[in-house]
Amino acid sequence: MLLNRILEAETVQSHSEASEYDAMDHSGVNAQFVKDLIAYGTLGQDCLDIGTGTALIPIELCRNDPLVRVMAMDASREMLELARYRLEVGGLMHRVQLAQGDAKKLIFQKDYFDTVFSNSLVHHLPTLETFFPEALRVLRTGGLLFVRDLVRPRDQETLDALVEQYAKHESESARQMFRDSLHAALSLDEVKNLAVEAGLDSSCVSMTSDRHWTLTARKINSSNTQQE
């Protein structure tokens, strides 16, 4: 039987927690995310990163695509404070704009962004019915929606093995953070059901690693999408 979903905190509430997250080694996962995102073709100029954390992916994306500008949004003020520091150090304040907001009810107008992407946010959300519809609402016709997150393991043994494999060299609190995230993640079928409810085809969602699902779709018009 699949592990039950155990929710974790929706947002980071303390500077120490944000700092610990920022100190974890996300470089390989982030580089792969950006590589896979760019592989789908031209992203356009205006991108939205929902749940940006400390803006590590926008920084990686700007280093690999000289044309993009990113609106980097997160619900946590503490995460955004660290993101601002990283952007200042990286000299990218002119290409990445920070915004605080709720992923379940985006503050941006309809058809605004050429590309909308999100990494490892969905498992933080206690309610998910509006996430994909909102992401599609702010996406322009022809724009790319690219979302990736963890998959909830089928059993405790698999979960423990993933923590050991991918967080072996992290602190114990960081290992617990990863463990909690795996518990809070959705199953592949749960993500596919949410995609269908948002008007997408279930085939736009697939397993792309031993611990990640990825959704890719282009918006055809205001009420229609197709998988990539």
173-199 pLDDT, tens digit each: 889 999 999 999 999 999 999 999 999
For the chain, state the CA radius of gyration.
Answer: 17
Q: What whole-number distance in Å separates Cα of residue 50 and Cα of residue 28?
A: 20
DSSP state of 48: E
**Could you give the CA distance from residue 52 to residue 68 in angstroms, rounded to a whole number?**
16
What is the pLDDT at residue 141? 95
219: nearest Cα among 210, 211, 228: 228
pTM of the model: 0.92
What pLDDT sits at residue 23?
74
Q: In the prediction, which pLDDT does 9 show?
A: 77
| Start-to-end C-alpha separation, the chain | 31
CATH of 15-227, one of 3.40.50.150, 1.10.10.60, 3.30.1330.10, 3.30.70.141: 3.40.50.150
In percent, the amount of the chain with pLDDT more than 70 equals: 96
Q: What is the rounded CA–CA span in Å between residue 85 and residue 51?
A: 17
How far apart, in whole angstroms, are the C-alpha atoms of residue 177 and residue 168?
Answer: 13
The average pLDDT across 88-107 equals: 96
Instruction: Tell me the two tokens of residue 124.
Output: 């933080």
Please say if the pLDDT value at position 29 is more than 70. yes
Residue 12 confidence class, pLDDT cut points 50, 70, 90: confident
- Confidence band of 42 (pLDDT split at 50, 70, 90): confident
CA angle 15, 19, 21 (to 5 degrees): 120
